[in-house]
Amino acid sequence: MHQPTLPLSQDLVLIGGGHTHALVLRQWAMRPLPGARLTLINPGPTAPYSGMLPGFVAGHYSRDQLDIDLVRLTGAANARLIIGAATGIDPASGSVRIDTHPAVGFDSCSVDIGITSDMPSLPGFAEYAVPAKPLGPFAARWEAFRAASGPTRVAVIGGGVAGSELAMAMAHALRGRPATIHLIDNSTILSTLPAKSAQRLRDAMRSLEVVLHENVRVTHLSENTVHLDGARSIQADFITGTAGARPYPWLAESGLETHDGFLVVNEKLRTSDKRIFAVGDCAYMAHAPRPKAGVYAVRQAPVLFHNLTSALSSGALKSYKPQKDYLKLISLGEKSALGDRFGVNFAGPWVWRWKDSIDRKFMARFDTLPRMQTPPLPYPRAKGSTAALGPKPLCGGCGAKLGRDALAQAVSTLPPSHRGDIVSLPGDDAAVLTTGGARQVFTTDHLRSFWADPAVMARIAAHHALGDVWAMGADPQAATLSITLPRLSDRLGQRSMTEILTAADQVLREAGAAIVGGHSSIGDELTIGLAVTGLCTRDPITLGGAKDAAALILTKPIGTGVLMAAAMSGTARGAHVAAALEAMQQGQMAASHILRETAEAMTDVTGFGLAGHVQNICTASGLSARLTLDAIPLLTGALDLSGRGEHSSLYTNNRAGFSNIPDTPKTRLLFDPQTGGGLVAAVPEARADETLANLRDAGYPDATRIGYLHSGSPGQVSIS
Which residues are catalytic, by number? 398
The number of beta carbons lying within 10 Å of the beta carbon of residue 48 is 22
Measure the CA–CA gap between 183 and 314, rounded to whole angstroms.
51
Residue 265 vs residues 14, 106, 586: alpha-carbon distances, Å: 16, 19, 41
Question: With contact defined as beta carbons under 8 Å apart, do 193 and 204 qualify?
Answer: no
Residue 380, preceding peptide bond in cis (omega within 30° of 0): yes
Measure the CA–CA gap between 57 and 711, rounded to whole angstroms.
57
For CA atoms 390, 392, 398, 400, the dihedral sign is positive
Residue 699 vs residues 339, 587, 634, 706: alpha-carbon distances, Å: 51, 10, 17, 18
Contacts of 223 (CB under 8 A, 6+ apart): 128
Angle between helices 161-173 and 195-207 (to 10 degrees): 20
Q: Which amino acid is at 247?
A: P
Residue 347 vs residues 269, 335, 355: alpha-carbon distances, Å: 35, 11, 11
Measure the CA–CA gap between 566 and 450, rounded to whole angstroms.
11
* Local structure of 83: helix, strand or coil: strand
Bridge-partner residues for 82, per DSSP? 41
Measure the CA–CA gap between 191 and 531, rounded to whole angstroms.
66
- Chain center to CA of 223: 32
Mark residue 230 as left, alpha or beta (left: phi above 0; alpha: psi -120 to 50; beta: remaining).
left
Angle between helices 574-584 and 454-471 (to 10 degrees): 50
